[in-house]
């Protein structure tokens, strides 16, 4: 793509520039270079997309499910064909390493694959003779035009948590990608177009808050899927509910890893360091806090210090990069400020990632791995989502204390335990108040055929993204009770 190119929206099967002068720069977080400019589309643009979606819906819902998934098979083949180019685009605009980009794209493709099972997944159920000569059926029907609003940190995967299920079940879908990483979505939509998908079935409208508000407020958008920070998730959920529409809104996180004395310390520190510093800590499933129990504290602290100082930090396009930059200069400043505040509230800085730069990339948004010890359990750092490569250590005396600390968090996206004790593992998975649980795992990301199950302030809604939940979210049930009188029904 050419420098400073203006990105178009995709509406009704056409690539068209938004009727606005309001554009923002999309920058490469490693170099600071401007890649493209993206429009902040006004409400009129959203309305156009909704109208096109409504028109397409009347035909699309009548296309047999077995034919609808034909487009997804073609889409999958194209994603595989352009895999490296898309992964490169993710790294260029999002900053993560090329390995991480490949990983997230693979996870996205798996959702396309699962949605190809829609002919089975969206089946209803029925009973004959619920009364004499009367049968009852439950079927699933699509909702109409639905929309998804996605964050910057997984530009390849997160749109695919929603899009394949929405269209396979017969809906028409509008994507509003993050304005920080819009080029990856450009790839996804272009490949759907090349797959022959009829106009209006998938559309893309770029923008920010006003575009989101227009989607929520539009009476013909029937459902909203959202992933992003908790404050915006809560807002989108409340405003959607006020419009009487269904919403699934995934928010932020503060994920703790409990480390017991009987854990394999080498494996544990390798896994936790990958979770904490991978994607520069910008995963909603990043471990950002360790709660060590008893004697686990000393060896774990030592191993994590080693992992933090030896991590190779540079432009994610280098095959040997183990960590890229954070997304924006503002993000870097916020993370550095939070490290300073954590120090002021009593934490000890063991490894300080502030004020460092990757060689040859002086204009990038660099924060190197940071490790803080003796983090006050009730303080700011223990409770705030930093969303950067900042890891805090807390030591407690018992597993119960550690679980209580996890459960005192307002977030509930993920909690992890490292141990060799089955009894401890069972107690933990039974009692921990988080929707995704890792046992000897640091990024417990559910596969595409399981729901992405955040709890508490990490999720607002009932049905989560992916798998069966996705199918239920994008369909409404209809129950038919029918009688066809015949000689038998007249006999009794
Ligand atoms: P964000 O909340 O800033 O933005 C998310 C989306 O909302 C973007 O498309 C953005 O344009 C839009 N938006 C931003 N402000 C808005 C407003 N005031 N009103 C309406 N729309 C608005 O989030 P982000 O910085 O892009 O992503 C990082 C956050 O997402 C982190 O908190 C992370 O934990 C969370 N996240 C959660 C999950 C999960 O599954 N729970 C997954 C990935 C990311």
User: Could you tell me if the CB of 461 is within 6 A of ligand 1?
Assistant: no
Sign of the CA dihedral with 46 first, then 47, 48, and 49 last: positive
Alpha carbon 135 to chain centroid, angstroms: 42
Mean pLDDT confidence for 243-271: 98
Q: How many CB atoms lie within 10 A of CB 117?
A: 15
Tokens 């994507």, residue located: 175
Catalytic, out of 116, 249, 284, 416: 284
At residue 356's C-alpha, the angle toward residues 350 and 358, to 5°, is: 125
72 with 110: CB under 8 angstroms?
no
Among 159, 228, 287, residue to substitute to test ligand 1 (most atoms within 8 Å of Cβ): 228
Question: Is-catalytic flag, 279?
Answer: no
pLDDT class of 178 with cuts at 50, 70, 90:
very high
CA of 70 to the centre of ligand 1 (A): 32
Q: Please tell me the distance from the alpha carbon of residue 31 to that of residue 34, in angstroms, as a whole number.
A: 9
Pair of tokens at residue 322: 């183990």
CA of 475 to the centre of ligand 1 (A): 25
* Atom 28 of ligand 1: nearest residue by CA position: 228
* Atom 18 of ligand 1: nearest residue by CA position: 209
Its pTM stands at: 0.97
Half-sphere exposure of 442 (CA within 13 A, CB side): 20
Residue 491 has pLDDT above 90, yes or no: no
Task: Find residue 172's DSSP bridge partners.
Answer: 145
Q: Please tell me the distance from the alpha carbon of residue 366 to that of residue 315, in angstroms, as a whole number.
A: 10
Pair of tokens at residue 472: 């239920």
Contacts (Cβ under 8 Å, ≥6 apart) of 297: 393, 395
Q: Please tell me the distance from the alpha carbon of residue 34 to that of residue 28, in angstroms, as a whole number.
A: 6
Strands, sheet with 287-293, edge to edge from the N-terminal-most edge strand: 348-351, 370-373, 390-396, 287-293, 255-259, 414-418, 436-439
pLDDT class of 487 with cuts at 50, 70, 90:
confident
Residue 2 has pLDDT above 70, yes or no: no
Q: Give percent helix, percent strand, percent coil of the chain, each to the nearest 5.
A: 40, 25, 35
Query: What mean pLDDT, rounded, does the chain reach?
Result: 97
More confident residue, 486 or 4: 486
Residue 142: which of 209, 65, 67, 230 has the closest Cα?
65
Q: How many CB atoms lie within 10 A of CB 88?
A: 16
Complete DSSP assignment for 241-276: HHTT-EEEEE----EEEEE-TTS-HHHHHHHHHHHH
Predicted pLDDT of residue 488: 79
**Helices and strands, number each (H, E), in the chain:** 16, 23
Predicted pLDDT of residue 492: 56
Mean pLDDT confidence for 438-442: 98
CA of 237 to the centre of ligand 1 (A): 13
Residue 447 has pLDDT above 60, yes or no: yes
Residue 121 has pLDDT above 90, yes or no: yes
Residue 162: which of 473, 482, 489 has the closest Cα?
473
- Using CB atoms within 10 A of its CB, is residue 158 exposed (0-12), middle (13-18) or buried (19+)? buried
Residue 269 has pLDDT above 50, yes or no: yes
pLDDT class of 1 with cuts at 50, 70, 90:
very low
Pair of tokens at residue 206: 């770029």
Tokens 């989560």, residue located: 464
pLDDT class of 277 with cuts at 50, 70, 90:
very high
User: Could you tell me if the CB of 250 is within 6 A of ligand 1?
Assistant: yes
Residue 280 has pLDDT above 80, yes or no: yes
Strand residues in 2-131 grouped as ranges (E): 5-6, 9-11, 14-16, 23-27, 34-39, 125-131
pLDDT class of 306 with cuts at 50, 70, 90:
very high
Pair of tokens at residue 7: 């990105």
Residue 489 has pLDDT above 90, yes or no: no
What number does the ligand 1 atom closest to the CA of 233 have? Answer: 2
pLDDT, tens digit, 9 for 90 and up, residues 73-94: 999 999 999 999 999 999 999 9
Backbone angles phi, psi at 382, to 5 degrees: -70, -15
pLDDT, tens digit, 9 for 90 and up, residues 456-467: 999 999 999 999
Mean pLDDT confidence for 371-379: 98
SS3 131: strand
Q: Please tell me the distance from the alpha carbon of residue 27 to that of residue 40, in angstroms, as a whole number.
A: 16
User: Could you tell me if the CB of 149 is within 6 A of ligand 1?
Assistant: yes
User: Could you tell me if the CB of 212 is within 6 A of ligand 1?
Assistant: yes
29 with 328: CB under 8 angstroms?
yes
pLDDT, tens digit, 9 for 90 and up, residues 335-371: 999 999 999 999 999 999 999 999 999 999 999 999 9
Contacts (Cβ under 8 Å, ≥6 apart) of 353: 308, 339, 367, 368, 369, 370, 389, 390
Mean pLDDT confidence for 207-214: 98
Q: How many CB atoms lie within 10 A of CB 476?
A: 15
């Amino acid at each position: 793509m050419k420098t400073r190119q203006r990105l178009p929206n995709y509406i009704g099967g056409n690539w068209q520039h938004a009727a606005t002068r309001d554009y923002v720069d999309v920058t490469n977080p490693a170099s600071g270079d401007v890649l493209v400019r993206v429009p902040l589309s006004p409400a009129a643009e959203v309305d156009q997309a909704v109208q096109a979606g409504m028109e397409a819906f009347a035909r699309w819902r009548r296309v047999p499910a077995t034919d609808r998934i034909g487009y997804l098979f073609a889409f999958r083949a194209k994603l595989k064909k352009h895999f490296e180019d898309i992964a490169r685009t993710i790294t260029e605009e999002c900053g993560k390493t090329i390995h991480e980009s490949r990983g997230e794209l693979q996870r996205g493709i798996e959702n396309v694959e699962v949605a190809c099972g829609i002919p089975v997944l969206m089946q209803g159920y029925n009973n004959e003779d619920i009364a004499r000569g009367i049968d009852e059926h439950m079927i699933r029907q699509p909702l109409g035009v639905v929309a998804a609003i996605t964050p910057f940190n997984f530009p390849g995967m997160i749109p695919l948590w929603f899009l394949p299920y929405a269209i396979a079940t017969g809906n028409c879908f509008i994507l509003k990608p993050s304005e920080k990483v819009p080029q990856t979505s450009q790839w996804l939509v272009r490949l759907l177009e090349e797959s022959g998908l009829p106009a209006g079935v998938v559309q893309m409208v770029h923008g920010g808050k006003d575009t989101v508000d227009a989607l929520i407020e539009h009476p013909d958008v029937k459902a909203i899927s959202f992933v992003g920070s908790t404050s915006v998730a809560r807002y989108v959920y409340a405003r959607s509910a006020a419009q009487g529409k269904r919403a699934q809104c995934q928010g932020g996180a503060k994920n703790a890893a409990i480390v017991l004395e009987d854990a394999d310390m080498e494996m544990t520190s390798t896994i936790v360091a990958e979770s904490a510093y991978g994607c520069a800590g910008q995963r909603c499933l990043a471990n950002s806090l360790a709660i060590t129990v008893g004697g686990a504290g000393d060896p774990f602290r030592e191993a994590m210090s080693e992992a933090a100082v030896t991590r190779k930090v540079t432009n994610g396009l280098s095959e040997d990069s183990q960590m890229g930059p954070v997304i924006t200069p503002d993000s870097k400043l916020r993370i550095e400020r939070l490290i300073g505040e954590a120090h002021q509230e009593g934490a000890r800085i063991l490894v300080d990632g502030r004020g460092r730069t990757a060689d040859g990339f002086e204009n990038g948004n660099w924060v190197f791995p940071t490790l803080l010890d003796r983090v006050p359990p009730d303080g700011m750092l223990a409770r705030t989502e930093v969303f950067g490569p900042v890891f805090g250590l807390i030591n407690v005396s018992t597993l119960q204390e550690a679980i209580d600390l996890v459960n005192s968090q307002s977030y509930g996206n993920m909690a992890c335990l490292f141990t060799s004790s089955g009894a401890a593992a069972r107690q933990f998975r039974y009692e921990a108040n988080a929707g995704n649980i890792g046992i000897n795992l640091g990024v417990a990301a559910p596969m595409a055929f399981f729901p992405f199950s955040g709890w508490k302030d990490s999720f607002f809604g009932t049905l989560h993204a992916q798998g069966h939940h996705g199918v239920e979210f994008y369909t409404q049930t209809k129950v038919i009770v029918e009688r066809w009188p015949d000689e038998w029904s007249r006999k009794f």
